[in-house]
Amino acid sequence: MADLFLKLSNVSKHYTGVTALDQVDFEIYQGEIHCLVGENGSGKSTLIKIISGTVQPDDGATIEVEGHVLHDLHAIDSIHKGIDIIYQDLSLFPNLTVMENIALRRYVAEGKRLVNWGELKKIATKAMARIDVSLPLEALAADIPIGDQQLVAICRALTRDVKLVIMDEPTASLTKKEVDSLFSVVLDMKSKGISTMFVSHKLNEVLEIADRVSVIRDGKMVGIYNPKELDDEKLTHLMTGKKLEYTPFARTQVAGEPILELRDLSRRGLFHDVSFKLFPGEILGITGLLGSGRTELALALFGVNIPDSGEIFFEGVPTKIDSIQKAVELGIAFVPEDRLVQGLIMNQSVSKNLTVTTLDDLVNRFKLLDRKMVKGRIDKSVKDLSIKIPSLDSPVQTLSGGNQQRVVLAKWIATNPKVLILDGPTIGIDVAAKHAIHQIIRDLAAHGIAILLISDEVPEVYNNANRVLIMHKGRLVKEFDEMDSTTMDEIQETVNLTA
């Protein structure tokens, strides 16, 4: 094997009263693809911050880069040693061109004062050539797909003599195709001796190409593993320290009248001729690739995208859902994909978020908010969904991803919905929280709520839905009715065929 690039030993970090890292050892070889996994709050981010030099470890730690012991690693040293971190948000400038996004940082680092646009272009072109990608240099970063934005961030790292690229949750919002092209870039960097460190809080594709996997839990390094010896179950166990009881979904036969029926619903450019029935107490899964029209269809049922043609029957009655108010009135609730942006008011308290959808019910006869009713509603939600919160007044943004999702769910359940549309309910949350959410969804269905579960994760719909529909380019291309006689691979393959 090649030489060690980075070696951390005995790294601890204590904040007042909290141990973020406890005697952690960590190493990466030159040209290695290393995956660091751990749940939220396991100490992953502290470790990255120490490597990036923005946080200093406690005394007693040693950091070696290319065999040289560093006494203090500060941000600027880390940069000079060739370490580059690509955060999940990619830290791009949406209003600048791809070219500037790639090259400007190096310009600033070199202390240049004047911009030579020709040189800027040369720097960007050279960086792209190193990994053999081609990006539209004149386009604004905001206008290119997220997968390309990721490549911009990588090219930005490659404008310098980079030796280690750390990527935080790199595949979270990429399509299958984009993940593949990211991987080929990473393998290309590997062949040039550049190390890559993937950081993730969930199980995902990055294991495919990783050389080694380090698992961290509660600030301690659990161990280093060969990814070929890991499967979902084992990794979950290592990450959480718990054996997750995964109860298979006992699918109940749904009968009776459909609560919602779509007949040839179309909207130009978004979805075409969509027909299906949804029964009370049923979980209907819809899957397909990013851009298949899943979300657009869901929004049509919530009064956002008004269909051009086709019919919607609600409880057997032809109904036009032409506004969100109308959808809410009918008893349709929608939990959006990007819960952070659309579902929650991030800087407001948990209690305000929990009651915002039902304010009309919580008023006294003067049409003013009734404090007691508000409190009762909040307490019930918190108890029902076991949301862990420091205080009802804490802003939602201070909660973990899983608890945020529960707040969104609670907010809508409070409206007593008949139909609950969940769009990517477990995106970006860790394994344990994911299972908890799945359990909640099943409980809701058991209470008679009809659930439309939209997800790009085939295992999620396979394991939790009575029936599964597959969408492609705005059309339903296949329906799986008998889940007990269908395997997950069959569904996955059907989805892959649409790529």
Partner 1 sequence: MIKKITSRYEFLVFMVILIFSIIIGLINPNFFSLENILDILQNNTLTGIFAIGMLIVVISGGIDLSFTAIATITGYTVAVLLLSHGSQLNIFVVFLIAAVMGTILGMVNASIIYFFKIPPIIATIATQNIYYGLLVVITQGKWLYGFPSWFGAFVKIKIFSLVNANDVKYGLSIVTVIWFAFIFLGWFILRKTVLGRSIYALGGSEASAQRAGFNILRLQLFVYGFMGLMAGIGSVIQALLVQTVAPNSLVGKELDVIAAVVLGGASLTGGVGTVLGTVLGVLLLAVMSNGLTLMHVPSYWYKVVTGFVILVSVAAGAWRKRAISNKKVIIEAE
Q: Which residues bind partner 1 (CB under 8 A)?
A: 75, 79, 87, 89, 91-96, 100, 104-105, 107-109, 112-115, 143, 268-270, 291, 293, 296, 473-474
Handedness of CA 115, 119, 121, 125 (dihedral sign): negative
Burial class (CB in 10 A: 0-12, 13-18, 19+), 415: middle
| β-strand partners of 262 | 276, 312
Looking at beta carbons only, is 140 or 244 nearer to partner 1?
A: 140
Please report how close the Cβ of residue 159 comes to partner 1 at its closest, in angstroms.
Answer: 12
Looking at beta carbons only, is 71 or 113 nearer to partner 1?
A: 113
Amino acid sitting at position 15 = Y
Please report how close the Cβ of residue 157 comes to partner 1 at its closest, in angstroms.
Answer: 12
Which long-range contacts does 277-281 make (Cβ < 8 Å, 24+ apart)? 278/419, 278/450, 278/452, 279/254, 279/255, 279/450, 280/254, 280/256, 280/418, 280/448, 280/449, 280/450, 281/252, 281/254, 281/445, 281/446, 281/447, 281/448, 281/449, 281/450
Q: Give the angle 423-262-417 at the CA atoms, nearest 5°.
A: 50
Looking at beta carbons only, is 80 or 375 nearer to partner 1?
A: 80
Please report how close the Cβ of residue 415 comes to partner 1 at its closest, in angstroms.
Answer: 30
Please report how close the Cβ of residue 110 comes to partner 1 at its closest, in angstroms.
Answer: 9
- Cα–Cα distances (Å) from 94 to 52, 98, 99, 106, in that order, read 24, 9, 12, 18
Looking at beta carbons only, is 88 or 226 nearer to partner 1?
A: 88
Looking at beta carbons only, is 113 or 243 nearer to partner 1?
A: 113
Looking at beta carbons only, is 296 or 315 nearer to partner 1?
A: 296
Looking at beta carbons only, is 251 or 475 nearer to partner 1?
A: 475
Q: Taking the mean position of all CA atoms in its chain, how far away is CA 254?
A: 32
Please report how close the Cβ of residue 259 comes to partner 1 at its closest, in angstroms.
Answer: 28
Please report how close the Cβ of residue 172 comes to partner 1 at its closest, in angstroms.
Answer: 18
Q: How far is residue 3's CA from residue 30's CA, in Å, rounded to a whole number? A: 6
For 234-314, list the strands marked E by DSSP.
Answer: 260-267, 271-278, 283-287, 309-314
Q: Taking the mean position of all CA atoms in its chain, how far away is CA 4?
A: 32
Handedness of CA 142, 145, 147, 148 (dihedral sign): negative
Looking at beta carbons only, is 320 or 473 nearer to partner 1?
A: 473
Please report how close the Cβ of residue 90 comes to partner 1 at its closest, in angstroms.
Answer: 8
- Cα–Cα distances (Å) from 144 to 89, 94, 135, 327, 369, in that order, read 15, 10, 9, 33, 46
- Cα–Cα distances (Å) from 363 to 135, 333, 353, in that order, read 55, 21, 16
Looking at beta carbons only, is 168 or 430 nearer to partner 1?
A: 168
Looking at beta carbons only, is 226 or 397 nearer to partner 1?
A: 397
**Region for 78 from its dihedrals, namely left if φ exceeds 0, alpha if ψ lies in -120 to 50, beta otherwise:** alpha
Strands 220-225, 450-454: pairing is: unpaired
Please report how close the Cβ of residue 121 comes to partner 1 at its closest, in angstroms.
Answer: 14
Please report how close the Cβ of residue 377 comes to partner 1 at its closest, in angstroms.
Answer: 34
Amino acid sitting at position 452 = L
| β-strand partners of 421 | 334, 452
Please report how close the Cβ of residue 148 comes to partner 1 at its closest, in angstroms.
Answer: 13
